[in-house]
Amino acid sequence: MAASVSVACPRIERMIDTLAGPGTGEADALTASDLLASIREQRQVENAAAARQLDLAARWADLHPPESIHSAAAFTVPGTDHEEPLAGEGCPLVAEFCIAELGTVLGMSSTSAKKLIGHALELRHRLPRLWSQVQSGRVPAWRARSVAETTIHSTPSLTREAAAFVDAQVAAVAGRVGPAQLDRLVAETIKRYDLAAPDPAADPEDGYLSVDPRHATLHDDDVHFAGTMRFEAELDIADALDLNQALSQKAAEQKALGSTESLDVRRAKALGDLARTQTALDLHTAGQGSSRTEDKLPVAREVVLHAHFPAESVGEQTVFGPIGRLEEGQRLVLLDQLQSWCGDSRTKITIKPVIDLNAHLTAPGYDIPDRIRDQVILRDRTCVFPWCTRPARGCDVDHVIAYDHDAAAEGQAQPGPTTSANLACLCRFHHRLKTHTAWRYRMVAAGVFEWTSPHGHRYRRDHTGTVTIDDHGPPDIPRPCRR
């Protein structure tokens, strides 16, 4: 028995080594010091590659100054008509349409590529000491980029002299500053160079007269696992007292009707109920035909949410999956949450027929009917440009092959008909990119698109994401039609 065990053990060891795969033995042979040295070496390689990427991004910008059809790229400030440049004062402008090709090569969105170019230009032109430290390997690129992001978007904007002061201070400590230290340094720079406009609110005696702290802010970036968001407000005293009284009354009504939830929960539900019933608007429109429900309460303002749940037939019943997708915010939603929302007696529920995403729908003219538009939106989910994540419901619906408005008059067949197989969702920026540049795409299957860049790089995009098609060669792309 002992002899058979001694023979079997080496066999078992060989079997374990075989199952573990190649290279396992070599990794196990490394000591802890060897592993740490290897990890450190790889980090140095990573930092060098990131520094090189910044340099190449800046060179790419140098090759693409704004032209007549390529306006300068900029960041749009949400909620305003204001735009911010990619980098600060003194940096060169960049043609907006060159951004997309750099982003696709790097596997990132156009917005991320815009930030990369902005950081590279900011470092090279306004933070040269820090730029030199990045290129020499003394400061990792990610640290330098955090400094560049702060100096680009400082309020008020930093002049070249002010940015140079920040550069000198940060470079003196080899970029080792945290976010709080950086904010203090920028604040000191603004004060030192007298960049801030006079602030009447800073007056120690009468400053409060120039401050209006009122606001109502939804913190939609912070979503709790319970499916809630935080709403913060600063109100007039009278408004605050009235709102508090209204919430207390509504919470008491819920309790009288049998609610066993806590006071905080009932007050939160009451606030949502007040929002849906639009009390002030109802008073304003009284006597002007304002509609009411059967219980004589004002009709709630319509807020449309698009939720999609997987379903399967079990016998004669349709069973929905417990987790679905909410288009608004691109978030997951629980079926229980949706049922609780729909359980409100003041909620209007609209159930639309199931849309077959593989059906071939056609319209006779250029205009896109709602039924086809909804099908394309549900099929594509987002803008179909490589790595773009803009929700499809806020995108343009584009004719992949351009619709020829003169085809019928000239007795020719329509090259770009309004059909499911010739429509795609594109955000406004990428729609303009497709129209005015040499970017081209085609639909190879329902919801599957192949894009070709001006330099011949190819990408495949479907509802699962984007992949690179490696076999690219010199571009053979016709110039865009300028109708």
Residue pLDDT, tens place only, 55-66: 999 999 999 998
Residues spanned by the domain of 321: 307-342
Does residue 7 lie in a domain region? no
Are 159 and 64 in the same domain?
A: yes
Does residue 104 lie in a domain region? yes
Are the C-beta atoms of residues 446 and 453 closer than 8 Å to each other?
A: no
Answer yes or no: is pLDDT of 416 > 60.
yes
Does residue 316 lie in a domain region? yes
Does residue 2 lie in a domain region? no
Does residue 296 lie in a domain region? no
Measure the CA angle with vertex 247, ends 243 and 251; round to 5°. 175
Does residue 5 lie in a domain region? no
Of 198, 232, 265, the residue that ends a domain is 198
Answer yes or no: is pLDDT of 19 > 60.
no
Q: Which pLDDT does position 137 carry in this prediction?
A: 94
Does residue 290 lie in a domain region? no
Does residue 14 lie in a domain region? no
Answer yes or no: is pLDDT of 476 > 50.
no
Q: Is 329 helix (H, G, I), strand (E, B) or coil?
A: coil
Q: DSSP string spanning 109-167?
A: -HHHHHHHHHHHHHHHHH-HHHHHHHHHTSS-HHHHHHHHHHHHT-SSPPPHHHHHHHH
Q: DSSP string spanning 419-437?
A: EGGGEEEE-HHHHHHHHHS
Q: Which pLDDT does position 69 carry in this prediction?
A: 60
pLDDT band at 290 (very low <50, low <70, confident <90, very high): very low
Q: Which residues 6+ apart lie within 8 Å of 201 measured at CB?
A: 207, 208, 210, 211
What CA dihedral angle connects 234, 238, 244 and 247, to 10 degrees?
-100
Q: Is 8 helix (H, G, I), strand (E, B) or coil?
A: helix
Q: Which pLDDT does position 279 carry in this prediction?
A: 43
Please name the helix (run of DSSP H) or strand (run of DSSP E) that holds residue 443, with its range, or none. Answer: strand 440-445
> Which tens digit of pLDDT belongs to each residue from 207-241?
666 677 888 888 877 777 777 888 899 988 888 88
> Which tens digit of pLDDT belongs to each residue from 165-185?
999 999 999 888 899 999 999
Q: DSSP string spanning 10-79?
A: HHHHHHHHHHH-TTHHHHHHS-HHHHHHHHHHHHHHHHHHHHHHHHHHHHHHHT----SSSPBPEEEPTT
* CB burial of residue 57 (10 Å; 0-12, 13-18, 19+): buried
Q: What does DSSP say about strands 458-462 and 465-469: parallel, antiparallel, or unpaired? A: antiparallel
Are the C-beta atoms of residues 84 and 153 closer than 8 Å to each other?
A: yes
How many angstroms separate the CA atoms of 337 and 176, rounded?
Answer: 46
Name the domain count of the chain. Answer: 4
What are the two backbone dihedrals, phi and then psi, of residue 160, each rounded to the nearest 5 degrees?
A: -65, -40
How many angstroms separate the CA atoms of 226 and 231, rounded?
Answer: 15
Are 273 and 312 in the same domain?
A: no
Are the C-beta atoms of residues 388 and 430 closer than 8 Å to each other?
A: yes
